[in-house]
Amino acid sequence: MSTEGARKTEILETAATVFAASGLRASLQEIADACGILPGSLYHHFTSKEEIFVELVQQYQADLESIAASARDASADAPLERVVALGRAIAECAIRHRAALLLTYYEPPAGSSSELVRLAHQTPTAINAAVLATLEAAQSEGDLRPGVDLAVLADRLCQSMLHVGIGVYHRTRGAERRPAVECRMLLHGLAPRTPSDARLDRSPASRVADDLIKSWHEQEERLDDKAVLIRAVARSEFARRGYELTTVRDIAAAAGLSTGTIYRLVDSKTKLLTSIMQSYAEVVAEGWAGILTSASTPVEKLDALLWFNINVTDRFAEEQRIQIAGLQQYPPRSSQLPMTFAAQLRLLKAALTDGLHGGSLQLEDAPLDLGAHCVFALAWTPENIVRAAGTRGALRAARDTVLRGAARSL
């Protein structure tokens, strides 16, 4: 490789590290400083952050293509272990390309170039097809139940494995097992001997979830109230543009109000965002606490939690997109969960412990901390599955995987 080529590669590798640690907001100056070069030298190779983004995404997608190609040639004896091995390879790829993953797992940042948007929107069809083919082979061998929707399962496996690269939990001791544990949870389920759907639908935990979901609709905000209208419009603008690019003027224009009216009712854009996200966090915290402390069995609690989270994703999609945009700009640096999430994890651990002691739950031989983190992640169904299948269809898919497992019972 030429000196020029080596320097460009070095800049890309350093940029990937900087973006992964500091988020997509990191500047070219920060990258130049990390490389130990002057900004002018960096501009000799890349004229903008966008150019760096595009190359990082191209490298990431090429790596996924290579993994997909290798999967087609794999010939492990146990078909289900091929699924786990492929899942592990996808997760390791996500960790290697964390910066590119932040750009493509979700919507790219508002204002991105058309080239970056095009690349980010390219569905990883090859890797999805490889996972689907591996699942089909397992089903043909009789290892998967015939009624399982393999296309949905393949999508869920890919998204779960890619999501491993978003946070930094993989840096904690023993977390290298997480991809395999999550794959096996989806294949074998947390509770293979789950009651019927009808019985789960009537559980006390399910009633708690249903009552909370019903309350959202009963408390629909009245858009003729100006303060409420501003919050609703701000949610939409923050989700569409991102917080950084949304101005008070944008919110005023979308609401059909003057900027003066906005400032009379809202102290600042920051406080408006904080209020929106705090309300969302309270909704989630109330649901998890009510469900996980209800007079239900551990299996019923997990089922109700799946149902509740599916409805959260359906009802609060804008808040989730705002949260996602925040992760792009400010990715987590610690494996410690924020305070509200930490409280939810403690409640989840207690339910899992009860289920393990009673023999109604299994964690794929994972220690409780690792197993709880895996369940915490799998308890949320990806938005595209919720949108495509509807809330009840998404629940059926979650019950067929997270609860009962896709694999045929022995």
> What is the overall mean pLDDT for the chain?
88
Q: Are residues 350 and 207 in the same domain?
A: yes
Backbone angles phi, psi at 293, to 5 degrees: -110, 10
Q: Report the CATH number at residue 37.
A: 1.10.10.60
| pLDDT digit string, tens, across residues 346-388 | 999 999 999 999 999 999 889 999 999 999 999 999 999 999 9
The whole-number average pLDDT for the span 89-106 is 88
Q: Are residues 325 and 392 in the same domain?
A: yes
The total of structural domains in the chain comes to 3
The whole-number average pLDDT for the span 315-340 is 75
For residue 19, the enclosing domain spans 1-47
| pLDDT digit string, tens, across residues 119-139 | 776 667 889 999 999 999 999
Extract the tokens encoding 39. 């900004």
Q: Is pLDDT of 1 > 70?
A: no
pLDDT at 21: 82
123 class by beta-carbon count within 10 Å (0-12 exposed, 13-18 middle, 19+ buried): exposed
pLDDT at 298: 97
Helix (H) or strand (E) holding 279: helix 269-292
pLDDT at 124: 74
**Inside any domain, residue 263:** yes
pTM above 0.85?
yes
Which one-letter amino acid corresponds to residue 293? T
Mark out the alpha helices in 105-225 (DSSP H runs).
Answer: 114-120, 125-140, 150-163, 178-188, 197-201, 204-218
| pLDDT digit string, tens, across residues 34-80 | 999 888 888 888 888 888 988 998 999 999 999 999 987 766 568 89
Question: Quick one: the chain helix, strand, coil %, rounded to 5?
Answer: 70, 0, 30
Distance CA 61, CA 97 (A): 9
Q: Are residues 11 and 112 in the same domain?
A: no
| pLDDT digit string, tens, across residues 204-244 | 999 999 999 999 876 655 555 788 888 889 999 888 888 87
CA 67 to each of CA 29, 236, 280, 326, 343: distance values in angstroms, whole numbers, following the listed order: 34, 37, 38, 29, 37
Q: Are residues 255 and 364 in the same domain?
A: yes
**Inside any domain, residue 188:** no
Q: Are residues 264 and 336 in the same domain?
A: yes
The percentage of the chain sitting over the pLDDT mark of 70, rounded to a whole number, equals 92
Q: Are residues 290 and 333 in the same domain?
A: yes
